[in-house]
Structure 1
């Protein structure tokens, strides 16, 4: 039973709870349910699940307040939001408050299971990396990655380990950094090096998208391209530079990544998460390089009386 992954589904609609269960349960997850944030918070305190999937608009305690409570209590349980059209501003606020990601209700069938699996992988990698010793005050390290997406969680786990040695991020911030890095590195591989359009995700439950990725991983010139990932970290901040070898893109053609209205747009989802979770984001090289910075909270200094 220790290997069973428990997911708490929170929604005031019984129909919606059944839908979420029908997506997640066949994948082997144990599903528990709650009908509002109050019930969910009590459950998380008593029986912490590995993950919470929650609606935003609910009576008694909505999804935003639930995210805030879980974050403030440092319960270390990642939360995924399910968002409906019209809830963009609240969803963006919840991401800032500590939610790990979101899935538009219009795309639950395509995106929910993939998002759940990815967050659980990243959360496990974060949990397994314990602080080593008081060692480093700064570090710069660079990796050159192939287009194998299965390497990304292990890389992020290594990055988390380094951040724990040097910086002062809490668990919520570590999870947000992991999500932003995952989006940026996968974007560099799939959309940069392999030149696969996210529009293919909308066709036949995304199968053409997966087929095109598999095809181009073994096809020249795509298979020879690499993603360079550089980490620069000090006590005060971490800067992540990701550069692909694709043709780049026109930034003006991409939806405004800071506009919450793009929560429901498939193509802008990754950039919105990146811009929400990082303090500074810059694009260079005609879209082939992204530089992201996350500042560290100051460590309180105890003054002896």
Structure 2
């Protein structure tokens, strides 16, 4: 099993590092453009959420990004050092009353771009799973 990890301080500009990490995964696993695009959006969204909401942009707190190849699936795990959140009761960003509200779209996007999204540790950790087979 391949397993690659990086840990970054919670600064929004560190998304560049995450983009490079995903570019390397594209090369390493010969990803097609459509799945690569989905991975880029979903994983950067998850890391952004971890930086902004999980760790509150506290540069002393890190975000861990891990990539694993499990069977025919690529799994990206994003973990922050925050308090977690109630991921089971999120407002629907597509509901008319929420269309004008900022926020709430990240997890919706992740769920639509990934084959599976699994939260752990009270929302501090999320697995984004993409089927390659």
TM interval, short-chain normalised: 0.7 to 0.9
Among residues 141, 157, 167, which one is paired with 2:20 in the alignment? 157
Among residues 237, 253, 274, which one is paired with 2:110 in the alignment? 274
Q: CA deviation at 1:161?
A: 1.9
More helix by share: 1
Structure 2 unaligned residues grouped into runs of 5+: none
Structure 1 or 2, whichever has the larger Rg, is: 1
Matched ranges for 1:54-93 at <5 A: none
**Superposed CA offset, 1:183-210 (max 9, x none):** 100000000001xxxxxxxxxxxxxxxx
CA distance in 2 between partners of 1:285 and 1:150 (Å): 26
Structure 1 runs of 4+ aligned residues shifted over 6 Å read: none
Q: Please, what is the CA RMSD of the aligned residues?
A: 2.2
Q: Kindly indicate whether the alpha-carbon contact (under 8 Å) linking 1:139 and 1:233 is maintained by their aligned counterparts in 2.
A: yes
Normalising by structure 1, report the TM-score.
Answer: 0.39
Q: Kindly indicate whether the alpha-carbon contact (under 8 Å) linking 1:166 and 1:234 is maintained by their aligned counterparts in 2.
A: no
* Alignment CA distance shift 1:223-1:235 (3 Å): same
Structure 1 unaligned residues grouped into runs of 5+: 1-137, 195-216, 299-305
CA distance in 1 between partners of 2:2 and 2:129 (Å): 15
More strand by share: 2
CA distance in 2 between partners of 1:287 and 1:142 (Å): 19
Look up the match of 1:294.
130
Look up the match of 2:34.
172
- The count of residues paired between Structure 1 and Structure 2 equals 131
CA distance in 2 between partners of 1:260 and 1:295 (Å): 26
CA distance in 2 between partners of 1:188 and 1:139 (Å): 24
Q: Kindly indicate whether the alpha-carbon contact (under 8 Å) linking 2:18 and 2:44 is maintained by their aligned counterparts in 1.
A: no
Q: Kindly indicate whether the alpha-carbon contact (under 8 Å) linking 1:152 and 1:182 is maintained by their aligned counterparts in 2.
A: yes
CA distance in 2 between partners of 1:237 and 1:181 (Å): 15
